[in-house]
Structure 1
Amino acid sequence: MAASTLRDLLESAFPGGEVDVEDRTGGGDHFQVTVVSETFNGLPLIQQHKLVNQALAAPLADGTIHELRIRTKGTA
C-alpha cells in the first residue's frame, strides 16, 4: 500500500489536521503515522489512537497494514 493512500484516508477522517505517513521499511506494510488534529483535544491517548485505527480499519482488517505505529496530538 502506498503511503499516499493512508495519508488520504487520514486526511479525510481528520479534515484540517496535519498528517504525516512514513513507510518504515519501504515494503508498503509497516507504517508510522503522525496526526495532529483538534479532534483529539481533551481525549485520552487511547481514544485518539482508536480514532486513527477506525480511520484505517479497512487496510488493517484485510492485512494490507502489517504494523502501524501511531503518534497523535491535539491542537490545544
Structure 2
Amino acid sequence: MPMAAEDIEGMIKAALPDAAVEITDLRGDGDHYAARVVSETFRGMPRVKQHQTVYNALGGRMGGVLHALQLTTAVPE
C-alpha cells in the first residue's frame, strides 16, 4: 500500500519539528516521491548524516511501504 505525502511530511516533522518540508509525488502513484527538508538541525552535519536523519524519521519504511524518495536536505539561510 502506498504512503500518502502527508504521512511522510508528518513523520519528518515529528522527528525534526523545526523543519520546512516539501513533498512532491513524482509519478502520481504514491510510491515515488521527492522531498526537500530544510532544518537547523542539519547545521554542521555531513550530507550523508542529514539524509540518515530523515530516513530514520521514516521508521524503516524506505524500500518497503515507501519505494523511492529523492531527498534534498539543507540548512536555513
- Quick check: 1:2 aligned with 2:1? no
Q: Percent same amino acid among aligned pairs? A: 37
Among candidates 22, 25, 28, match of residue 27 of structure 2 = 25
Tell me how far apart the structure 1 counterparts of residues 66 and 10 of structure 2 sit (CA, whole Å): 15
| C-alpha RMSD of matched pairs (Å) | 1.3
Q: What is the match of residue 49 of structure 1?
A: 51
The one-letter code matched in structure 2 to 1:26 is G
Tell me how far apart the structure 1 counterparts of residues 49 and 76 of structure 2 sit (CA, whole Å): 15
1:75 CA displacement: 2.3
Q: Hey, which of these two has a bigger chunk of helix by percent?
A: 1
SS at match of 1:25: coil
- Quick check: 1:68 aligned with 2:30? no
Displacement over 3 Å in runs of 4+: none
Q: What is the match of residue 17 of structure 2?
A: 15
TM-score (norm 1): 0.90
1:4 CA displacement: 0.5
1:64 CA displacement: 1.0
Tell me how far apart the structure 1 counterparts of residues 6 and 61 of structure 2 sit (CA, whole Å): 13
1:58 CA displacement: 3.2
Q: What is the match of residue 58 of structure 1?
A: 60
Tell me how far apart the structure 2 counterparts of residues 39 and 16 of structure 1 sit (CA, whole Å): 8
